[in-house]
Amino acid sequence: MNEKIVLSTTESIRWENKRHLFFEDHYRSLLAKMRMKRIPIGMQFTPEWLLAQITDRIGQIGTTDSSVVDVQVQWTGRGDVAVQIFSEAPRFFEQTVIDLYRDYYITPGLAQFPLTDFTAINYLANVYGFENEYDVCLLMNTQKELVQTHLGSFFCVMDQEIVTPELNSGLLVNVWRTHAIKTFKEAGLRVVEKSMSLFDLQKADGVFILGPETGFLAVDQFRKTVFERSSCQPVWDIWNKLIQQ
């Protein structure tokens, strides 16, 4: 495209076990972002059409196992809407070490809306992690509360509870977080959404991250705090049962 792109939005979808996880919810999430940004939604932009485009992309690269598909919608403010589909391998870590990214902060209560673009801060956090040999970076808001990681939502296993940052912290509402909270509650686990500090993180028994790029990722260490992977196993069993359905 020769025209300057003025509006764009992206939805990441996980390909796992020869199917797209939570595709219908991702499709609705993408439509919500497009409506928020006033990007026209053409008659051809149906779930069936998008699913066919993604499936074709998966077939082109010959992926049979796991893959992360990014659906990027772009519009210049006039003319047709461009849809581009990219695919890459999920991220895997043998030993997951996390740290804080504090060059830039998130404004509480704003980032949960589709208009807010996480792309820049996620990119910078990713670079920071690479330069300092950290696998995952935690993002904070201007009130120094933990919000999420640059790869997805995070959860702490604490005293038989699953604790995660609340929406007002500024986190980006996403399909995986919504499904996780619903599934854990239905399985009888107590899920607490609240403002979280570094102290909450350091006293957790276990920490795990959920997102299309990582899947279910147990965290091993934050600075001098070492977490027990075994404490995340019951939660992993519940989540794995969901994605195998």
In the chain, domain spans: 7-88, 97-243
H or E element that contains 210: strand 206-211
pLDDT per position as a tens digit, 127-180:
999 999 999 999 999 999 999 999 999 999 998 899 999 988 988 889 999 999
Report angle CA 205, 210, 216 to the nearest 5 degrees: 75
- The 8-class DSSP code of residue 95 comes to S
Contact (CB, 8 A) for 218 and 98: no
Correct CATH for 97-243 of 3.20.10.10, 3.20.20.140, 3.30.70.1110, 3.40.50.2000: 3.20.10.10
Q: Is the pLDDT of residue 117 over 80?
A: no
How far, in Å, CA of 52 to CA of 64, rounded?
A: 16
Q: Is the pLDDT of residue 31 over 50?
A: yes
pTM above 0.95, yes or no: no
Q: Is the pLDDT of residue 79 over 90?
A: no
H or E element that contains 243: helix 233-243
Mean pLDDT of the chain: 89
pLDDT per position as a tens digit, 98-115:
999 999 998 887 545 554
% of the chain beyond a pLDDT of 70? 93
Q: Is the pLDDT of residue 64 over 80?
A: no
How far, in Å, CA of 165 to CA of 153, rounded?
A: 9
120 contacts: CB under 8 Å, gap ≥ 6: none
How far, in Å, CA of 12 to CA of 211, rounded?
A: 9
Domain covering 7-88 in this structure, CATH number = 3.30.470.10
Q: Is the pLDDT of residue 197 over 90?
A: yes
224 contacts: CB under 8 Å, gap ≥ 6: none
**Token couple for 136:** 């995952």
How far, in Å, CA of 228 to CA of 220, rounded?
A: 7
- Fold: same for 7-88 and 97-243: no
Distance from the Cα of residue 165 to its chain's centroid: 14
User: Of the given ranges (1-5, 44-48, 232-236), which has the lowest mean pLDDT?
Assistant: 1-5
Read off the pLDDT band of 120 (50, 70, 90): confident
- Report, in angstroms and rounded to the nearest whole number, the Rg of the chain calculated over CA atoms: 18
How far, in Å, CA of 40 to CA of 37, rounded?
A: 9
H or E element that contains 221: strand 221-222
